């Protein structure tokens, strides 16, 4: 299925804020200092809307994302993707924007604060579309593996950022090649090693991974988790045990400490 992104550029809120509040009214020093370019965050949210995901899980994904977005700082970048269904031949549903920078590096003036607040509200409104439980009847599969190549492209496009992936999915790869639902068509034990030797794995070096919506309380779900742990390690990403969750209360602001 080929889908075209319906999202326009998200610029109106920031522009309006700059026009309406054009005066340079200094606020008291906010306590925030501009971080160096290489420590700004690239937050990548990937949403699984396949039929194996329950409506309440999509609602949870929406709320967790809205809460995390509230923590965005000036200069951070956010990307939203919907999982591909069958292969990289599809055009992904994708949206990306950057939080407006401050006008001055070491202080925040009123229009900076308003621009950031309006940007965050716009993001919260747009994210709803990626977690919409309606109109899922035409979804034909769940291609997590192909989608992770798109994630790699985002990381490579913004090497100066610190990337974190929040992947909302039951982690059941299900297309014509591999079907993890009920362990119907699992990859062989040496699949990850073989793909690494062939050079077909995405380069996710430096990526911190957080999985939300995947179970690990049964033998089958543990087998699937083991596959993904091996996979992400081979791609250079970091998936810590505590970041493979089913229903977390909130998303961690720094899920990979020391990174």
CA 149 from chain center: how many Å?
13
Confidence of residue 194 (pLDDT cuts 50, 70, 90): very high
**CA nearest neighbour of 205 among 144, 143, 259:** 259
Look at the chain and report how many structural domains it folds into: 1
pLDDT at 21: 33
Does residue 162 form part of some domain?
yes
User: What's 230's DSSP letter?
Assistant: H
Residue 223: is its pLDDT beyond 90? Answer: yes
Global pTM reads: 0.84
Tokens, residue 138:
């035409």
Angle of helix 12-20 relative to helix 110-127, nearest 10 degrees, comes to 160
**CA nearest neighbour of 85 among 165, 166, 144:** 144
d(Cα 217, Cα 255) in Å, to the nearest integer? 22
Does residue 33 form part of some domain?
no
CB 86 within 8 A of CB 140: yes
pLDDT at 106: 76
CB 233 within 8 A of CB 187: no
pLDDT tens by residue, 15-37: 333 333 333 333 333 344 444 44
Residue 125 belongs to domain with CATH number: 3.40.50.410
Does residue 12 form part of some domain?
no
Domain extent for 198 = 41-105+119-245
φ/ψ of 149, rounded to 5, equals -70, -35
Does residue 16 form part of some domain?
no
Does residue 75 form part of some domain?
yes
pLDDT at 170: 97
Q: Which residue has the tokens 């000036």?
A: 74
Stated as kind and residue range, the H or E segment containing 3 is none
94 contact partners, CB below 8 Å, separation of at least 6: 5, 79, 80, 81, 82, 150
Burial (CB count <10 Å: 0-12, 13-18, 19+), residue 38: exposed
Does residue 251 form part of some domain?
no
pLDDT at 39: 78
**CA nearest neighbour of 128 among 53, 77, 63:** 63
pLDDT tens by residue, 96-138: 999 999 888 777 888 999 999 999 999 999 989 999 999 888 8
pLDDT tens by residue, 144-171: 999 999 999 999 999 999 999 999 999 9
Does residue 5 form part of some domain?
no
Query: How does the average pLDDT of the chain come out, rounded?
Result: 87
Does residue 14 form part of some domain?
no
């Amino acid at each position: 299925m080929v889908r075209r992104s319906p999202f326009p550029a998200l610029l109106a809120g920031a522009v309006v804020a700059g026009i309406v509040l054009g005066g340079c009214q200094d606020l008291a020093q906010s306590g925030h200092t501009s971080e160096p370019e290489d420590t700004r965050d690239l937050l990548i949210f990937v949403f699984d809307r396949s039929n194996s995901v329950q409506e309440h899980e999509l609602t949870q994904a929406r709320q967790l994302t809205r809460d995390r977005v509230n923590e965005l700082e000036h200069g951070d970048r956010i990307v939203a993707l919907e999982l591909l269904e069958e292969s990289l031949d599809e055009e992904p549903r994708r949206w990306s924007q950057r939080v407006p920078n401050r006008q001055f590096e070491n202080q925040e003036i009123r229009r900076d604060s308003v621009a950031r607040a309006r940007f965050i509200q716009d993001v919260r409104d747009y994210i709803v579309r990626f977690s919409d439980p309606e109109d899922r009847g035409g979804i034909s599969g769940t291609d997590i593996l192909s989608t992770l190549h798109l994630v790699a492209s985002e990381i490579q496009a913004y090497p100066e950022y610190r990337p974190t992936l929040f992947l909302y999915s039951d982690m059941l790869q299900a297309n014509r090649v591999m079907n993890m639902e009920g362990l119907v068509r699992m990859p062989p034990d040496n699949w990850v090693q073989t793909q690494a030797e062939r050079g077909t794995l995405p380069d996710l070096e430096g990526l911190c991974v957080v999985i939300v919506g995947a179970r690990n309380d049964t033998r089958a779900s543990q087998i699937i988790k083991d596959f993904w742990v091996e996979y992400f390690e081979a791609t250079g990403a970091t998936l810590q045990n505590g970041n493979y969750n089913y229903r977390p209360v909130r998303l961690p602001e720094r899920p990979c400490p020391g990174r």
